[in-house]
A and B are shown apart, each in its own frame.
Chain A
Amino acid sequence: MLKRKMLRELKGDLGMCISVIILSFLAVLTYCGFNGDVIGFRKELKNFYQQTNFADGWIYSEGFSKEELEAVRDLEFVADAQLRTQITGSAPDYNNAQTNIYLEDENIVTMPLAMEGVPFDPQDVDGVWLNQSFAKAWGIQVGDTFTAEYEGVSITKEIKGLVMTPEYLYTCADNDADVNLANLAYIYLARDAFPVREVLKTAIENESITGADLSGFSEELENMPKSMLLALLDQISDERLQEFIPATTMIFTTNTDEDVMGYEKQISDALHQNYAAMINEHMIIGVERFIAETQQHEMFSYTFAAVFVLIAVLIIATSMARLVERQRVEIGTMNALGIRRRKIALHYVSYSLFLSLIGAVLGFFAGLYGMARAMIDMFSEWYVIPKAEVAFDGMAILVIAVTVGACALASFIACYKILRLPPAQALRPAAPKMARRTFFERLPFWKNLGFASRYNLRDISRAKFRALMGIVGTACGMVCAVFAFGCVGLVDDIDDWIFDRIQNFAYEAVLSENASVTWLDETVGEVDGELVMVSAIELSTAGKNVSSEEKTTQNLTVIEGKGLYQLTDPKANTIKLAPGEIAITYRLAKSLGVEVGDTVYWHLYTENTWYESQIGVLSRSPETAGIAMLREDLEKTGCRFSPTLLVSDQDLTAYQENANVSAVYEKEELRRIFLEGYEVLNLMVYIMLIISLVLIIAVLYNAGNMSFHERLKEFATLKVMGLPDKKIRRVLNLENLWLSIIGIFLGVPFAQPLLVAMMNSNGDNFDYYLHINPIYYLLSGAFALVVTLAVGYLFNKKIRGLDMVETLKGTE
């Protein structure tokens, strides 16, 4: 019978029921939605690592010998190790897409996973193994031929397999702002399949390699003319030529679960310090980004779930308190009839248990199979992982339990007060609450306030919890709305920052790895351009040759100061580097604890020589962290200037086919690609606006509904007295409007930090200077107000249909 009672009463309080269901739904939905993809991705990633025997450590050098490989293999903690060479070429048949070429003579660590075709065979000199994501983007099949171009030499092989590796979990071509799978190919080739002789011959002919470059092999070569070098090349054995494509990377796995960086000393000793850098999987840019992204989702899942549970608890606590107060006599009757208190308590607890459970279960399924599925589908465009499926863990169940438990507890606390009363006392209606002067009455303008304002201010004082619910709910809704509109503005801001301030040029030529310096110096004058070098470095504040804990991987940007490639200050305004001045990015400086005047130490990732520089200025870039300097200052340190980009306002497309150039891009094309990468934010805009909408409606409708029911008799009296429906509605809506306005102002300070936290949690490289345009605050506030007013209209029918006779009949 009590179940029937519960169902009938819930039907009579549909507004509260729907609010509690919606908020429990949102709490679990956002948790499972933001976390379901994370768990799914992580689970699949673990499999991916196992299947590929993914390396635990990467050691980079100018070249490793077989002996050094054996020395590392002999270390007790090393399970497997192998060498490989990585060079960068292009795919001429596919819009000159960047092609990372891996040359290997064995395949035991970080084995590319064959998704189609046969597994990679490092002895097969006829085949090439191409990444599946690139193949898919271009419709390439196993059995087709693939041509990679390196230093003007074409390497054409039959595709034997389409592969995937965790190293490319998330990555983009050097020239892309974000992932574009059609722009980045990576191939695995047997080391013996690489046409080293042809490559060297072409390089000598093009003068991108001169005798000076080869002096490391033999001093006699230093001043040797091109013709002699070419003649000499024919006399060198194939085996000797292999020295020209040194194994620059050693990858290894360990037989322990400990971080490999803890073994760097032993590695260093084994290699006699002859290496440039060592990293673990967390330092791989793609993996780091993936970890940051999943952590960001986790942060979202906990934050949103906590907020919605809090609001649901507020709603339950206030609604149940009202419901139980209204049923005081019924509780007394049930008690007097001999129904045990525990059973009565359980009966009232079951109200919220029932409602929140419905919401939570619906949220669980909608979160996992709706939101998380959509997230996986969306992020699969960025993260290349074999087969991610949504998943959940014990925490999802715990979140459901916490949501339902918190709601049930709120109910229990609400009814416990009345249950403690002796039945005789509970059977009598509660004495009316003593009205008291409120804080508002001390305000100087109190006497000038009209009836509606005084009435509502006293109502707020009387129902503080309800008011708090309305304010907190609207504040959260406002945060979500600013977040959503802020995302729209953010893309415009970053677009403007990168493409109008930093990149003050119209064309960009990506230079080949060994682009001829002579050619570059000539060309840069011809096109009135600027050469830019962007290179990975290791940076330390502790000194040179320090251990891994004391250094971080960053970027070095070297410019010529011609104003085509510019730097921006921490407020995103352009700055000019003065000679002798080194810039460090703002977020990096903060994390390292350095400031202007301090010294930093660095070395190119691929070279072992350390340099030191004094910080002269702080800079800021949205997507690059590191240091920047002028070419003349770099050259003063003794480090070689190896430009990676030639930028100009003049059209560079004529250089597209030049051997020194990998690709030429018009800035507008770069901008388009960049904006495509930010399409994810559009989804966030919709998600946040929907959450904001649902939240404000649920909270304000519930607050209004409670206020309406609590003041039902008063409204009926006012109606009898002749107060028009319009004015009664205004009285009711005015209160919600106030709560909403307070909520809007309270939400404002939280919106920007949340948006910054979300954007910057993409990784340490990201540092957005976000200035949310006031127009977006106004838009968000207007959005919240429109929703508030729309909620007001939901009460129109109620007020119009208010039966004065019936309402006042039951008055005692």
Chain B
Amino acid sequence: MQKKMIEFKDVVRTYGTGEALQKAADHVNFTVDEGEFVVILGQSGAGKSTVLNMLGGMDRPTEGTVTVDGETISGMNDKQLSVYRAEKIGFIFQFYNLIPSLTAWENVALTKDIVKSAADATSMLEQVGLKDHANKFPTQMSGGEQQRVSIARALAKNPRLLIGDEPTGALDSETGKLILDLLIKMSHEQKKTVVIVTHNADIAKCADKVIRMKNGKVREIVKNEHPLSVEEVEW
């Protein structure tokens, strides 16, 4: 039996008060097993990024509990969340968010300042196929290359959980496929739990589990018995 990695239990996240009260997440319940590749799918405003932010320790639920790797993160203070993000989470952004004034190698190597056990930056870049781009600055690289650096940076911390907010959203389909393939490999070969949010339904075809959200609620959770390979997907 697979170990339960993530559990969202009756999670509510509201913004504003009174008449302006908005429920970005409304009694969200789901679980994710260790090593699963999960896609949270939904249109803009569905609440998927809110869920991802809570999962990433960037936001806290108003109600309910979020448990990751056996730890209830919803009750953590800022300092504990910072440690959680440092040790457990690897975050991949839609627009890569690399530090423009650091080279690819330096962007990855800065993880040493976050966790002492961070992996060697050169080998991480090698893993994502960018060993030769180590001395390039982000502006000297394509979007796909930047995203690969971003993945290398996320992986360098050796996190239990990789989360991505539209990680292929800013890329063309070919480059997007490369990135998606890389993430799936991380999940299946390195047993990393990967959760990404996207509005692209085609990506969901490659996922082990798909969580569909609408208006802040989980509408459907589908376990994909036969996920497609990246080559089979078109978008």
Name A residues whose Cβ lies closer than 8 Å to a Cβ of B.
432-436, 450-452, 454-455, 458-459, 462, 713-714, 717-725, 727, 800, 804-805, 808, 811-812
| Nearest A residue (CB) for B90 | A721
- Assuming A435-B140, A808-B97, is B56 touching A721 (CB within 8 A)? no
- Assuming A720-B91, A722-B115, A811-B93, is B101 touching A451 (CB within 8 A)? no
Identify the stretch in B30-38, B61-69, B104-112, B182-190 within 8 Å (CB) of chain A at 4 or more residues: B104-112
Pair B99/A455 contact, Cβ less than 8 Å: yes
Pair B99/A714 contact, Cβ less than 8 Å: yes
Question: CA A744 – CA B112 in complex, angstroms?
Answer: 32
Cβ–Cβ < 8 Å partners of B94 in chain A: 811
- Assuming A720-B56, A722-B82, A722-B85, is B139 touching A432 (CB within 8 A)? yes
- Assuming A432-B100, A805-B53, is B110 touching A451 (CB within 8 A)? yes
Cβ–Cβ < 8 Å partners of B102 in chain A: 451, 454-455, 458
Instruction: List 6 A-B pairs, minimum CB-CB distance, nearest first.
Output: A722-B86, A435-B137, A458-B101, A722-B85, A717-B97, A451-B110
**Any A CB within 8 A of the CB of B89:** yes
**Any A CB within 8 A of the CB of B222:** no
Cβ–Cβ < 8 Å partners of B93 in chain A: 717, 720, 808, 811
**Any A CB within 8 A of the CB of B212:** no
Cβ–Cβ < 8 Å partners of A717 in chain B: 93, 97, 99
Pair A451/B100 contact, Cβ less than 8 Å: no
Cβ–Cβ < 8 Å partners of B139 in chain A: 432-435
Cβ–Cβ < 8 Å partners of B178 in chain A: none
1/0 per residue, CB under 8 A from A, across B63-101: the answer is 000000000000000110011111101010111010111
Question: CA A434 – CA B101 in complex, angstroms?
Answer: 9
Cβ–Cβ < 8 Å partners of A800 in chain B: 78
Give min CB distance, B98 to chain A, whole Å. 8
Pair B97/A462 contact, Cβ less than 8 Å: no
Pair B58/A804 contact, Cβ less than 8 Å: yes
Question: CA A458 – CA B106 in complex, angstroms?
Answer: 12
| Nearest A residue (CB) for B106 | A454
Pair B58/A720 contact, Cβ less than 8 Å: yes
Pair B109/A451 contact, Cβ less than 8 Å: yes
Give min CB distance, A466 to chain B, whole Å. 14
A722 touches which one: B87, B97, B99 (CB < 8 A)?
B87
Pair A721/B85 contact, Cβ less than 8 Å: yes
| Nearest A residue (CB) for B112 | A451
- Assuming A435-B100, A722-B82, A808-B93, is B58 touching A452 (CB within 8 A)? no
Question: CA A718 – CA B102 in complex, angstroms?
Answer: 13
Give min CB distance, A69 to chain B, whole Å. 84
> A-side binding surface: helix, strand, loop or mixed?
helix
Cβ–Cβ < 8 Å partners of A725 in chain B: 78, 82
Q: List 15 A-B contacts (CB under 8 A).
A: A433-B139, A451-B102, A454-B102, A454-B106, A458-B101, A720-B58, A720-B91, A721-B86, A722-B115, A723-B82, A804-B58, A805-B53, A805-B58, A808-B93, A812-B95
Cβ–Cβ < 8 Å partners of B89 in chain A: 722
Cβ–Cβ < 8 Å partners of B100 in chain A: 432-433, 435, 714
Cβ–Cβ < 8 Å partners of A433 in chain B: 100, 139
1/0 per residue, CB under 8 A from A, across B112-148: the answer is 1111000000000000000000000111100000000
A721 touches which one: B59, B95, B109, B114 (CB < 8 A)?
B114
B101 touches which one: A450, A455, A719, A812 (CB < 8 A)?
A455
Name the residue among B59, B78, B85 with the largest chain A CB count within 10 angstroms: B85
Give min CB distance, B105 to chain A, whole Å. 11
Cβ–Cβ < 8 Å partners of A718 in chain B: 99, 110
Pair A811/B113 contact, Cβ less than 8 Å: no
Give min CB distance, A555 to chain B, whole Å. 64
Give min CB distance, A451 to chain B, whole Å. 4
Cβ–Cβ < 8 Å partners of A459 in chain B: 101
Question: CA A812 – CA B87 in complex, angstroms?
Answer: 27
Q: How many residues of B contact A (CB 8 A)?
A: 36
Having A435-B139, A720-B91, A724-B86, one finds 10 other A-B pairs with CB under 8 Å, namely A436-B137, A451-B106, A454-B106, A455-B110, A459-B101, A718-B110, A721-B91, A722-B157, A724-B83, A725-B78
- Assuming A458-B101, A717-B99, A805-B58, is B113 touching A434 (CB within 8 A)? no
Give min CB distance, B84 to chain A, whole Å. 8
B59 touches which one: A458, A727, A805 (CB < 8 A)?
A805
Cβ–Cβ < 8 Å partners of A451 in chain B: 102, 106, 109-110, 112-113
Question: CA A724 – CA B114 in complex, angstroms?
Answer: 8
**Any A CB within 8 A of the CB of B153:** yes
Cβ–Cβ < 8 Å partners of B111 in chain A: 721
Cβ–Cβ < 8 Å partners of A713 in chain B: 97
| Nearest B residue (CB) for A438 | B101
Cβ–Cβ < 8 Å partners of B153 in chain A: 721
Cβ–Cβ < 8 Å partners of B85 in chain A: 719-722
Cβ–Cβ < 8 Å partners of A721 in chain B: 85-86, 91, 111, 114, 153, 157
Question: CA A456 – CA B99 in complex, angstroms?
Answer: 11
| Nearest A residue (CB) for B103 | A435
A811 touches which one: B59, B97, B99 (CB < 8 A)?
B97
Question: CA A462 – CA B139 in complex, angstroms?
Answer: 14
Give min CB distance, B139 to chain A, whole Å. 5
Cβ–Cβ < 8 Å partners of B83 in chain A: 722, 724
Cβ–Cβ < 8 Å partners of B109 in chain A: 451
Give min CB distance, A45 to chain B, whole Å. 60
Cβ–Cβ < 8 Å partners of A455 in chain B: 99, 101-102, 106, 110
Name the residue among A434, A435, A454, A713 with the largest chain B CB count within 10 angstroms: A435
1/0 per residue, CB under 8 A from A, across B152-170: the answer is 0100010000000000000
Name the residue among B95, B97, B112, B140 with the largest chain A CB count within 10 angstroms: B97
Pair B82/A724 contact, Cβ less than 8 Å: yes
Question: CA A805 – CA B110 in complex, angstroms?
Answer: 21
| Nearest B residue (CB) for A457 | B101
Question: CA A720 – CA B85 in complex, angstroms?
Answer: 7
Question: CA A800 – CA B82 in complex, angstroms?
Answer: 11
| Nearest B residue (CB) for A721 | B114
Give min CB distance, A446 to chain B, whole Å. 11
Cβ–Cβ < 8 Å partners of A811 in chain B: 93-95, 97
Question: CA A459 – CA B82 in complex, angstroms?
Answer: 25
Question: CA A722 – CA B87 in complex, angstroms?
Answer: 8
Question: CA A171 – CA B167 in complex, angstroms?
Answer: 82
Name the residue among A452, A719, A724 with the largest chain B CB count within 10 angstroms: A724
- Assuming A435-B101, A808-B97, is B114 touching A722 (CB within 8 A)? yes
Cβ–Cβ < 8 Å partners of A714 in chain B: 97, 99-100
B113 touches which one: A436, A452, A805, A812 (CB < 8 A)?
A452
| Nearest B residue (CB) for A436 | B137
Question: CA A743 – CA B33 in complex, angstroms?
Answer: 56
Cβ–Cβ < 8 Å partners of B84 in chain A: 722
Cβ–Cβ < 8 Å partners of B138 in chain A: 435
Give min CB distance, B103 to chain A, whole Å. 8
1/0 per residue, CB under 8 A from A, across B187-199: the answer is 0000000000000
Question: CA A710 – CA B35 in complex, angstroms?
Answer: 38
| Nearest A residue (CB) for B87 | A722
- Assuming A433-B139, A435-B101, A805-B53, is B78 touching A723 (CB within 8 A)? no
| Nearest B residue (CB) for A450 | B113
Cβ–Cβ < 8 Å partners of B78 in chain A: 725, 800
Give min CB distance, A429 to chain B, whole Å. 12
Give min CB distance, B46 to chain A, whole Å. 15
Cβ–Cβ < 8 Å partners of A452 in chain B: 113
Cβ–Cβ < 8 Å partners of B58 in chain A: 720, 804-805
Cβ–Cβ < 8 Å partners of A719 in chain B: 82, 85
Give min CB distance, A711 to chain B, whole Å. 8
Give min CB distance, A713 to chain B, whole Å. 7
| Nearest A residue (CB) for B170 | A812
Give min CB distance, B163 to chain A, whole Å. 10
Pair A723/B99 contact, Cβ less than 8 Å: no
Pair A434/B140 contact, Cβ less than 8 Å: yes
Question: CA A811 – CA B82 in complex, angstroms?
Answer: 21
Give min CB distance, A716 to chain B, whole Å. 8
